[in-house]
Structure 1
Amino acid sequence: MKKAYIILPVILTLLILSCGKGFLDTDPQGVIIDEQLKTTKAVEASLIGAYGILNGNINGTWGNYSSGPSQWLYGEVAADNAHKGSNSGDQSPMNDIELHRVGPTNDNLPTMWRVYYEGIIRCNKTLQLLKTVQESDANDRFSDERATQIEAEAKLLRGHYYFFLKRVFVNIPYLDETITSTADAVKVPNTIDVDPMIEADFKFAVDNLEYTKPLGEVGRVDKYAAEAYLGKLYLYQKKYPEALVLFKNVITNKAPLTDMPFQNNFDINTENGPEGILVAQNIINDDGSGDNGNVGDMLAGLYNSAPISCCGFYQPSVDLANAYKVNASGLPLLDNSYRTNPYKSDLGLSGAAKTNYQVNKTLAFDPRLDYTIGRRGVSYRDWGTMPGDDWIRDPAYGGPFVAVKQMIDKSDFSGNTSPGTTNITGLNVNIIRLADVYLMAAECAVETNDLTYARNRVNDVRNRASSLPAVTAGGTPAAAYDVNPYASFPNQEYARNAVRFERRLELAMEGHRFYDLVRWGIAKTVIEDYQDFEKDFVSSSQTITFEDKDTYYPIPQEQMDRSGGALTQNDGY
C-alpha cells in the first residue's frame, strides 16, 4: 500500500483557485474574499494544487491521455517505439499522431495545452499569494526559509510545465505571476522564446532547494530534480559542458545506480525509491475513485481475458522488440542489423502453426526486453503466461506485443486500482529517473569528447541490467539473456550511437524517444527507416510520412480562435 504523498488537489480552496479548463477560458470557478487567501494555509494549499498537475490531470478520469506525464502519445507513439494500438476506429485522432498528419483541430492538442497551462496558472497563483502573505502586516507569515523554499518549489514546477509545452508546441505564450487577469493573458503573443524564463526558474530552484525533500514529504521536488532538470534544459540547448556539471552533481550525491534494481521503478510497492528524481504521484482515493490515479496511462490496459481488460492501446513496435537483440558479445546491434530475420512472435501465423506456437528460448536478448514488452508464451508480471492475441484488440493493426511498465501486479490490484475501471491504477510515473541522468551525462561526455566517462556511465546502466532476474516461459528463461558492458568506445561517432541506442533500450515506453530523435536532428531519417521496416508487419505503420514541420505540433485551433489574433500559428500549419 502507499504511504502519504502529495496528491491532486481535493481541498476546496484549490478548487476555487483553479483556473479550470485553460488559461484562455473565462468561466469563473468560484468566489472567495481576498482576506481568506492571505494565510499561510492558503499558500500551502495552492502549492499542493500546483503539484497536482504533475499527473497530467485537472479533474475526472477519461480524456487526459495526451497530457499524461508518461507522454506516451507524443513521446513514443509518434516515434519508432510504439503503436497507438487498439483498432483504427478507436480514438482515431491519435492515428494522425502516429502517422504524422496532425492538424490544428486534432482533439489531443488542446488537452495538452489546457492541462499544462492550468499547472502554470496554479504556480503563478501560489507565487502571488506567497508575496501577498509575506508583505502583509498579519502575524500569519512564513519564515524566510520556508517562503524561499515555496517559491523554489513553485518555480521548478512552473519550469516543468513550460518545458513539456515547449517540446510539443515550440512557440508558446509566457505567463508569469505578474499577469493577474484573463484579459491580460489573452493578449500575450507566442513569439518570444520561453527557454530563458524556464532557465531562470530552474536556476532559482537549484540555488534554493536542498537534497532533502521539503517538509519531509516524498512527493515534493528537491535539489536533485532542480539540477537534473536544468541540466536537461541545457542538454536540449546543446550546452553540454554546463549540463554535464549538473548531471555529475546528481550522480555524485546519489547512491550508485547499480544498487537500485531496474524493476523497482515499475513496481507499486517500491516506487518513490532512490532512483526517482522527478516523479508524478498517483493514488486511488479512499472511496475507490480514480481521479488522483494514473489516468494518463489508463488506455494501456490489455484486452479481453487479461486481468485488466481495457483498453488495448499503447503497443510496443516490432522494431523495438528486435532492438533488444544482442550479438555474441552481449552488445546491441548498433548498425540496425537487428532487423535481419526479425523476431515477430506469432504474428502472421495461422492454423496449426498459430495454435502450437512456442516461444523460441534460444534467441539472444537483452533482459530488459521482457520487463518492457509482453510477448506470447512469456510470463507477464504475475498475471500468468501472455497468451498472445487474446490480450490484444487487433494484432494486425497494432502488432503482437503489449506494454509492461504501465501495469501493476495482479496481487496489488486491491487498493491500487479503481473498482469498475481497474485500468486506472495508483502506479507513479517517473518523469526523470537516475538512469536517465546517467545517460544524459554520458551524452554530454561524448559531445565534449570524454569517451571514457561516457562509456563508464553507459556501462553502469548495462551492468545494472545484467542483474535482472530472468523472466520465464514454462518455468525456464524465456530467452538466452545476455547484456555486457562495452570494452571500449573507439571513436566519438561510435560512442554517440552507443549512448543513443542505450537510451532507447533503458527508457523505452517512458515518453522520451520522439523528443530525443528531434533534438538529435534525426527524427525524419529514423522514422522513415522505421516505417519501411514496420509496414511489413503492422497495418498502422503503412502510411507514415514525415515532413520537417512534424518535429513539432500546431497550436490548437481553439486557442487560436480564443486569442483574438494574439497567437501565431506554427509554420507549416
Structure 2
Amino acid sequence: MKNKLLLSIFAICMLVVTSCSDLLDVEPKQSIDADQALNTPQKVEAAVIGAYDDLSSVDLLGGTVIYGSDLLGDDGSVTWFGTFSQPDELWSKNILTDNSFVRDVWLQGYETIDATNNALSALDVIEDSDMRNRVEGQAKLIRGIVYFELVRLFGRDWSDGDPSQNPGVPIALEPTRDFDNPPTSRSSVEDVYIQVINDLTDAKALLPSNIEIDNTVLGNTYVASAYLSRVYLQQREYEDAGLEAGRVINSGNYSLTPLVSGAFNNPTNSTEDVFAVQVSDQDGANDMNTFYAGSQYSGREDIELTGYFDLFTGLFDSDDDTRDDFIHFGASFGGPLTSKWTNFRNGNINIVRLAEMYLTRGEASFRTGNDINGFPAEDDFNMVRSRAGQEDIDATDIDLDYIFTERYIELAFEGHVLHDTKRFERSASGIPWNDPSLIFPIPQREIDASGGELEQNEGYGS
C-alpha cells in the first residue's frame, strides 16, 4: 500500500497532461526520453508533486520510517504481536539482511531521491523565477529529508565513532538512467549530513512561508527549518538546533491544539502541524493506523503497549496528564493500544508538530546554558506540559533525564525513540545505543546487485 497526497494535489498533476489520450499513451517511465518527460515547467512541477507522493509512501514517512524506528528503539513499552516477521525482527533487534520492509525503505528512498534529481536536472525549462525557486526548493527539501532518514537508519549515529570515516549511504545527485547499475560506493556519514544540510538550507532560502495548496500540504520554509533542527540536534549542535526550532515557533504560523488529542487523527492539518502526510478517504493508506490501531479502527492491533502501565505510565508526573490515558483497547485481542493513529480513512500522519519544536528549543537552551530567542528552557517545556494538564516545572528540576522523559512521553509512537536513545546514549531493551544491531542492514539485494562492492554494516556479515 502506498500513501497518497490529497486528491486536489493530484488534480494539479492532471493539469500538466494535455489530454486524456496523452495520459493513456504514456510509455513506461523508464523508457521515456528525459527531454520529453520534463520539457515544460508544468511537467517539472508535476515531477516534484510525484516526489511528495513517493515521500508519503508507507515505506517512508507513511509508515516504516516511523514505526520501524520505534520498534527498533523500544525499551520495553511495546510488544510486537503481529504475524509479519519483518517488523518482529526490528522489535527483537535481530534484523535479517533480506528483511523486505528494510529493503523497501532503501528502494523507496532512492526512488524518491531520483524523482527530485530528475526535477532538479530540468530547472532550465522554467523561466519564471518564482516558480523555479519554488520547484527547486521543494525538490531539495524532499531530497534532504530522505537522505537524513536514510543515514540515520542505515548509518552509525553522528557521535558513534568518526562520522568522517563511518559509512553512510550512497549520495546520488544526478538522475539515474540505468537502474541495473545502482551506486556501489557509500559516502561517509559526515558527507551525507553535509548534503542534507546543504539541501535543507537551500530549501529554507528558496521556499515561501506558505504554500497555498490544501492547507499547506507542501513543505514551506519552516518545514526546512524544522528538519534542520532535527539534523543539528542529532549532531549535538544544540544552539543551531534551537535557533531553527525557534524560527518555526516565532513564525506565528502554528499553535498548539488546546488538547493533546486534537493534534491527531485529523483530515486536514491542525494548527500544530508543521508538516504532515496527507491521507484522504478517496485515496491513501496509513500504516501507522494499520499496525498501531485496534480492529474497531481498521487496525491489526499488532503493536501493543504491554509495558505501558508499568513503564510508560509510571513516567508521568501527575494523574491529570492527558497523555497518560491517550489509549484504547483492541476489539479483537483486548490489548492496550495508542490512540494517536485511529483515523483509518482520512487521518493525517503527523511528521513534525509544534510541540517538538518547543521541546527542541528547551533542550537546546538547557544544554548551551543560553536562553535561545530569550526564552528559558523551562518556559518551552512548560508550554507542552501545560497543554497536557501538568504543573509547571522549575528550572532547578530540569536535567537530561527529565528532558529525555518529557520527549519520550510527548512524542511517543511518532518515530523519535530510536534517535533520542542514540542522542542520549541510552540503551534499548538492554542493548547499548551504539550497538550495530540498532542500525538497519544494507539490503542483501543491494549487496548482490553491486557484485559485493557495496559495504555491509558491521554485524551483518559481508
- Measured against the shorter chain, the TM-score band is 0.7 to 0.9
Question: What is the letter of the counterpart of residue 43 of structure 1?
Answer: V
Secondary structure (helix, strand or coil) at the match of 1:44 reads helix
Secondary structure (helix, strand or coil) at the match of 2:304 reads strand
The 1:453/1:565 distance shift into structure 2, 3 A limit, reads same
Q: Report the Cα distance in structure 1 between the residues aligned to 2:188 and 2:360, rounded to whole angstroms.
A: 27
Partner residue in 1 for 2:161? none
Question: What is the letter of the counterpart of residue 498 of structure 1?
Answer: Y
1:218 maps to which of 212, 216, 219 = 216
Contact 2:120 2:139 in 1 (8 A): yes
Question: What is the letter of the counterpart of residue 45 of structure 1?
Answer: A
Aligned pairs for 1:79-478 within 5 A? 79-80=74-75, 82-87=77-82, 90-131=83-124, 133=125, 141-170=126-155, 171-177=168-174, 179-182=175-178, 186-193=182-189, 194-213=192-211, 218-254=216-252, 257-258=255-256, 260-269=258-267, 271-285=268-282, 290=283, 292-295=284-287, 297-303=289-295, 307-319=296-308, 322-325=311-314, 331=317, 364=319, 366-371=321-326, 373-375=327-329, 390-392=331-333, 400-408=335-343, 424-450=344-370, 453-466=376-389
The 1:321/1:406 distance shift into structure 2, 3 A limit, reads farther
The 1:66/1:248 distance shift into structure 2, 3 A limit, reads closer
Question: What is the letter of the counterpart of residue 381 of structure 2?
Answer: V
Note the C-alpha offset of 1:430. Answer: 1.2
Note the C-alpha offset of 1:37. Answer: 2.6
1:458-493 deviations in whole A, cap 9, x for unaligned?
A: 100011112xxxxxxxxxxxxxxxx21113334xxx
The 1:165/1:112 distance shift into structure 2, 3 A limit, reads same
Contact 1:65 1:295 in 2 (8 A): no
Q: Report the Cα distance in structure 1 between the residues aligned to 2:85 and 2:321, rounded to whole angstroms.
A: 34
The 1:457/1:76 distance shift into structure 2, 3 A limit, reads farther
Note the C-alpha offset of 1:499. Answer: 1.7
Secondary structure (helix, strand or coil) at the match of 1:174 reads coil
Q: Report the Cα distance in structure 1 between the residues aligned to 2:127 and 2:342, rounded to whole angstroms.
A: 41
The 1:249/1:32 distance shift into structure 2, 3 A limit, reads same
Note the C-alpha offset of 1:182. Answer: 2.3
Q: Report the Cα distance in structure 2 between the residues aligned to 1:187 and 1:258, rounded to whole angstroms.
A: 43
Secondary structure (helix, strand or coil) at the match of 2:78 reads strand
Q: Report the Cα distance in structure 2 between the residues aligned to 1:229 and 1:464, rounded to whole angstroms.
A: 24
Secondary structure (helix, strand or coil) at the match of 1:277 reads strand
Question: What is the letter of the counterpart of residue 202 of structure 1?
Answer: L
The 1:68/1:186 distance shift into structure 2, 3 A limit, reads same
Q: Report the Cα distance in structure 1 between the residues aligned to 2:115 and 2:49, rounded to whole angstroms.
A: 9
Partner residue in 2 for 1:34? 35
The 1:69/1:247 distance shift into structure 2, 3 A limit, reads farther
Note the C-alpha offset of 1:267. Answer: 3.2
The 1:80/1:6 distance shift into structure 2, 3 A limit, reads farther
Note the C-alpha offset of 1:445. Answer: 1.2
Contact 1:523 1:551 in 2 (8 A): no
Partner residue in 1 for 2:449? 562
1:173-222 deviations in whole A, cap 9, x for unaligned?
A: 01113x44226962440133311001000110111222122667621101
Note the C-alpha offset of 1:12. Answer: 11
Q: TM-score, normalised by structure 1?
A: 0.68
The 1:316/1:450 distance shift into structure 2, 3 A limit, reads farther
Q: Report the Cα distance in structure 1 between the residues aligned to 2:286 and 2:14, rounded to whole angstroms.
A: 20
Residue segments in structure 1 that go unaligned for 5+ positions in a row: 18-26, 58-63, 134-140, 333-363, 376-387, 409-423, 467-482, 529-543
Note the C-alpha offset of 1:11. Answer: 5.5
Note the C-alpha offset of 1:258. Answer: 4.8
Question: What is the letter of the counterpart of residue 283 of structure 1?
Answer: S
Note the C-alpha offset of 1:316. Answer: 2.1
Q: Report the Cα distance in structure 2 between the residues aligned to 1:9 and 1:92, rounded to whole angstroms.
A: 39
1:215-262 deviations in whole A, cap 9, x for unaligned?
A: 676211011101111121111111111121111111112267456542
Q: Report the Cα distance in structure 2 between the residues aligned to 1:202 and 1:320, rounded to whole angstroms.
A: 39
The 1:243/1:8 distance shift into structure 2, 3 A limit, reads farther
Question: What is the letter of the counterpart of residue 191 of structure 1?
Answer: S
Q: TM-score, normalised by structure 2?
A: 0.83
Question: What is the letter of the counterpart of residue 178 of structure 2?
Answer: T
Secondary structure (helix, strand or coil) at the match of 1:100 reads coil
Q: Percent identity?
A: 26
Q: Report the Cα distance in structure 2 between the residues aligned to 1:147 and 1:256, rounded to whole angstroms.
A: 27
Say how many residue pairs are matched: 431
Contact 2:425 2:433 in 1 (8 A): no
The 1:224/1:96 distance shift into structure 2, 3 A limit, reads same
Q: Report the Cα distance in structure 2 between the residues aligned to 1:77 and 1:548, rounded to whole angstroms.
A: 12
Contact 1:74 1:511 in 2 (8 A): yes
Question: What is the letter of the counterpart of residue 453 of structure 1?
Answer: P
Note the C-alpha offset of 1:302. Answer: 1.8
Secondary structure (helix, strand or coil) at the match of 1:431 reads strand
Secondary structure (helix, strand or coil) at the match of 1:278 reads strand
Note the C-alpha offset of 1:43. Answer: 0.8
Q: Report the Cα distance in structure 2 between the residues aligned to 1:319 and 1:77, rounded to whole angstroms.
A: 17
CA RMSD of aligned residues (A): 3.2
Question: What is the letter of the counterpart of residue 165 of structure 1?
Answer: L
Secondary structure (helix, strand or coil) at the match of 1:442 reads helix
Contact 2:289 2:298 in 1 (8 A): no
Note the C-alpha offset of 1:561. Answer: 0.6
Partner residue in 2 for 1:346? none
Contact 1:6 1:281 in 2 (8 A): no
Secondary structure (helix, strand or coil) at the match of 2:104 reads helix
Note the C-alpha offset of 1:563. Answer: 1.6
Question: What is the letter of the counterpart of residue 205 of structure 2?
Answer: D
Note the C-alpha offset of 1:446. Answer: 1.4
Note the C-alpha offset of 1:164. Answer: 1.1
Note the C-alpha offset of 1:70. Answer: 6.2
The 1:157/1:301 distance shift into structure 2, 3 A limit, reads same
Question: What is the letter of the counterpart of residue 444 of structure 1?
Answer: A
Question: What is the letter of the counterpart of residue 156 of structure 1?
Answer: L
The 1:549/1:326 distance shift into structure 2, 3 A limit, reads closer
Note the C-alpha offset of 1:32. Answer: 5.2
Question: Which protein shows a greater Rg?
Answer: 1
The 1:82/1:511 distance shift into structure 2, 3 A limit, reads farther
The 1:503/1:8 distance shift into structure 2, 3 A limit, reads farther
Q: Report the Cα distance in structure 2 between the residues aligned to 1:463 and 1:505, rounded to whole angstroms.
A: 14
Q: Report the Cα distance in structure 2 between the residues aligned to 1:212 and 1:65, rounded to whole angstroms.
A: 24
Contact 1:188 1:566 in 2 (8 A): yes
Contact 2:256 2:354 in 1 (8 A): no
